[in-house]
Chain A
């Protein structure tokens, strides 16, 4: 059996991930916004008798090393030398897509071009002569619908069987002046390890001030000096940075290729997407519409899930009674009975009853992502993001934080500037993740029965505001303010595929179930033990170890309105994972999900409940989030700062809510 490695490269939104899924049968989530694939993803497929490893590279517009996605793609192609690089090209945006194609061809990366979205191009009246395109680019070009599994697989089979990829280097003519300098640098670096795989490409990149290659030159003072002279000379000739001049030449080449191989209709009729954008991106309408959509999202998350939540609550109560009765009847030691019913069933059941809310939230977010609205929301937020010193692109990791802060923080890698990355990472925990939703749902159903959706929306809004204020503060304290404009592709709106959204909902929701069986399960056992120890004390009393620990720290929470040991222990364990706040209440009070609301009313008022919800939102990132902050910033300092800052901010905000509310006459 023959083994091949192929990689998929292309612009964001060119249909790369769809192509990957069609080829490998995978269910990677396809997001209709740029930067979905930050990491490369791999899959394996057998076609005929060949075993093919498929690597989905991050979507990029070019192959510079300025952003992490570009570095990941470029490094993979250079270092791993895949047997075939399939360049997925969006036929409706051929000119822009060809810039990357030209760079790939310059890299001699053995490429085959798959023209995707041919049907949409046809609808727009765009006619592409694939034969001519292939001739001009000196690479095989085929029209392939990325959604058509059969077509995708036969395209790959044909490319591999014919060994059809182009390994010819497409040499763009950069003009006499530049070409002379390229040759000069090419000769100087051709034997160096960093550049010998493709000296011409390396020379071009060095002239373009590529950081990685320049660093690799290191101690070669002679070449570095020559390079500086070349760049200065080119600047004096063109009055522009050499990187801009070279990029313009490549753009020029792309324009030339398109002119010779494509017929584009001269009259432009505004598409439905463009017409919709006139309203959705309107200055006056856009923002209120955005907040309206978010409000609707939370209302739906709450109300549509309510019947199922009630049903599961009843189910858990019945299960608890049945199991307890069975264990009692079977003559099990009392402590086992208590562990199973007081601890495991109550503790885990209290969290699992909110599964419908979590699944529904993920489903609605998936629909929004896939419809193309996410990219619009980022565009709308660009101005606001600038005001707090962030790049508009930061908005996407922040939105993803509503699902889970861990992948959201990882996706901040798509931000080019370190400053943007660090601030986006630090403020991400204020975006209310799905683990906090059960806490809100429980508290609003008990204390704010009439305004459930609105209160949840307010808590989410509070998180967004605190994230904004914190970003503004961090910018002033730690970084120099440098505005950067958002250049973002707005993909066409599309009807979100329900099947895709369901798969994605399941994949994300599944994590929640796994957490219930792992970290929440372990935490519940520890809380049950603390509530029962020393043996003989009244379960969940002040005399238990849990009570003793809670009594020690409860004075901290006294001014916030919830100076009770149960609340203190709940917050203490909530630092492990936020859902455990609820599990702790259920375990220490030894009540099921159905009765939990009643016992909470004995220690909370609506005002202190709201302060407690705010505290749960802010007070500390969970363990996994702290770890990912450390990993992504490569610094325990930033992770430690995030913990201390959020603890202090959580206390201050909860204090202001409770004391301010009291002053205003709320209770």
Chain B
């Protein structure tokens, strides 16, 4: 039972993390650690 709960919990956490990263990338048009971070004037 504990394993099942852990599996689902980790799955949801991973999916949420991935969703947040993709959402940020789509919004900002940058990849993680991009050299243009914070320097885009447009």
A-to-B contact residues, CB < 8 Å: 29, 39-42, 72, 333-336, 339, 404, 406-407, 410, 507-508, 510-515, 518-519, 521-526, 528-530, 532-533, 535, 576-577, 622-628, 630-632
Contacts and interface: CB of A to CB of B under 8 A. Distances in A.
22 contacts: A40-B41, A42-B39, A333-B6, A335-B3, A335-B7, A335-B10, A339-B10, A404-B31, A404-B34, A407-B35, A519-B18, A521-B17, A523-B18, A525-B18, A529-B10, A533-B11, A535-B3, A535-B7, A576-B18, A624-B30, A627-B27, A627-B30
Nearest to A507: B35
- Interface majority SS on B: helix, strand, loop or mixed? helix
Contacts of B33: 510-515, 518
Contact of A519 (B8, B10, B21, B35): B21
Q: Which of A40, A522, A577 has its CB near the most chain B CB atoms (within 10 A)?
A: A522
Contacts of B25: 519, 623-624, 627
Interface of B: 2-4, 6-8, 10-11, 13-15, 17-18, 21-22, 25-36, 39-41
B29 A39 contact: no
A631 B31 CA distance: 13
A406 B11 contact: no
Contacts of B30: 406, 624, 627-628
B27 to A, nearest CB: 7
Contacts of A334: 3
Contacts of A510: 33
B9 to A, nearest CB: 10
A522 B4 contact: no
Contact of B17 (A40, A410, A525): A525
Nearest to B2: A333
Nearest to A513: B33
Q: Which of A510, A526, A530 has its CB near the most chain B CB atoms (within 10 A)?
A: A526
Contacts of A335: 3, 6-7, 10
B14 to A, nearest CB: 3
Given A41-B39, A519-B25, 17 more contacts: A29-B35, A42-B39, A336-B6, A507-B35, A511-B32, A518-B32, A518-B33, A519-B22, A522-B21, A525-B10, A525-B11, A529-B7, A576-B18, A622-B31, A627-B29, A628-B29, A632-B29
A526 B18 CA distance: 8
B39 A406 contact: no
Contacts of A524: 14
Contacts of A512: 33
A519 B39 contact: no
Contacts of B10: 335, 339, 525, 528-529
Contacts of B34: 404, 406-407, 511, 624
B15 A410 contact: no
A630 B29 contact: yes
A406 B7 contact: no
